[in-house]
Amino acid sequence: MQDQTVAPAGRAAMRVTLLCWIIVVIEGYDIVAFGTVVPVLLGNPGNGFTPENIGWIGSAVFVGAMAGALSSGALSDRYGRRPVAIAAVAVFTLFTVLCGAVDSVWPLALFRLLAGLGIGAIMPAASALTLEYAIPRYRTLTYTLMLSGVPVGGVLAAVTALPVIPAWGWEAMFLLAGAPGVLCLVITARYLPESPRFLDSVGRHDHASAVRARFGLDAPAVEVVTLEKAEGIFGRSYRGASIVFATATFCGLFAWYGLATWLPGLMSKAGYALDSSLVFLLVLNLGAVAGSLVLAAATDRWSNRPVVVLTYLGMAAALLVLSIKLPSAPLLVCIAVAGVGGHGGQILINAFVSASYPTGRRARALGWSLGAGRTGTIVGPIVIGWLVSGRDPLTGFAVFAGLAVTAAILLALCPRTPALRSLGD
């Protein structure tokens, strides 16, 4: 049963944002936790943990995430954001914990794949809910605050790994996710509301009115377009943007998740100690947290397009510098800048997507963009694993830089949709 207390619109936005933030913190921990254990697995080839196999394990979670994201958009538009979010939390909590109960390649890959189903499903639902409850004036800032939970979870994973892995082994990194995941599931089921705009779009107007009354929300100023009347995301007005968003997301996610998965392994192969490699991962995620807030403020001042283009160009420059040996101080600065661009760039793409489609297709558009784009997260760890196995590991940074430049070019040329033109972008 959901809370029935009436709340002002601003408080409702804060509540939904906080709940979705908690969810993505746990998701961020799950994603980065695997990166923290890669150096340990590389040192344990007896159980089959070769660089190539580790690349396949790293990609398995993203295979599941792609399937989860592609199905989440359609399920959210059909059944609602709330039930999809709750189910996704349950799935990724269960299978993340099970990852800590195995010690060989293929069972670990299987559980990472199944955990990925929940990881991929949560983001379109949480994104749509956050954006629809946000006060319009602060929509980008609110969305960015919610998504800052991903690198915050990454920071927690890196900090946790420093004492936990030497003391209890790599399996403990996954077992520790159980209790927070269950608590998150209980809180979400109790307090997360449904989107009133979704309820209107499927004809449940009485329920939508009740939600608005409970949370102090105003009725929409314009007639809500129903799912049946809305032009599809591959209709003539939206086809070009849908293709661009998916391709740019592929490039951005290849670079970001390849970096998040392999940064400790790349640095370890390049001669850095395990504790230093984990510090690099910590700096990457701290840069992502700080950068996402700065980018949110920038998009409130300027339009989304130039900010996201410059963000990816900055990321590319930092990654190119990382492809050569550096002293500690500039090395940490470049890693932090890469974190700003990798995470912040994807936030800005998601906001760009959300602004480019009407409410009735927004979750589906996000699901398509993130789902199709997540093929980059599948390819990334495999490609870098191949590079690590027999080549200079630092060349991986040059590959990431090229993808960041490609994303910048695509987004600069992205067609303007009718929904985006109505916002004056």
Q: What is the pTM of this model?
A: 0.75
Give the model confidence (pLDDT) of 354-390 as tens digits. Answer: 788 887 777 788 878 877 777 887 888 888 777 766 6
What is the average per-residue pLDDT within 288-300?
A: 78
Are residues 16 and 143 in contact, defined by beta-carbon separation less than 8 angstroms?
Answer: no
CATH class as words, domain 9-422: mainly alpha
Average pLDDT, the chain: 82
Domain boundaries, the chain: 9-422
How much of the chain, in percent, has pLDDT values that exceed 90? Answer: 24
Residue 415: the pLDDT is: 87
Give the whole-angstrom CA distance, residue 189 versus residue 233: 30
CA 260, 347, 72: angle at the middle one, nearest 5? 90
Give the whole-angstrom CA distance, residue 143 versus residue 346: 12
CA atoms within 13 A on the CB side of 109: 18
Residue 322: the pLDDT is: 81
What's the Cα-to-Cα distance from 126 to each of 21, 84, 423, rounded to whole Å?
Answer: 9, 9, 22
Give the model confidence (pLDDT) of 3-40 as tens digits. Answer: 444 445 577 788 889 999 999 998 889 888 888 898 88
What is the average per-residue pLDDT within 283-309?
A: 82
**Which residue do the tokens 């963009």 mark?**
369
Residue 362: the pLDDT is: 78
Beta-carbon contacts of residue 353 (< 8 Å; ≥ 6 apart):
245, 362, 365, 366, 369
Question: Looking at residue 222, what DSSP letter applies?
Answer: S
3-state class of 103 per DSSP?
coil
Greatest CA separation for the chain: 64
Residue 207: the pLDDT is: 67
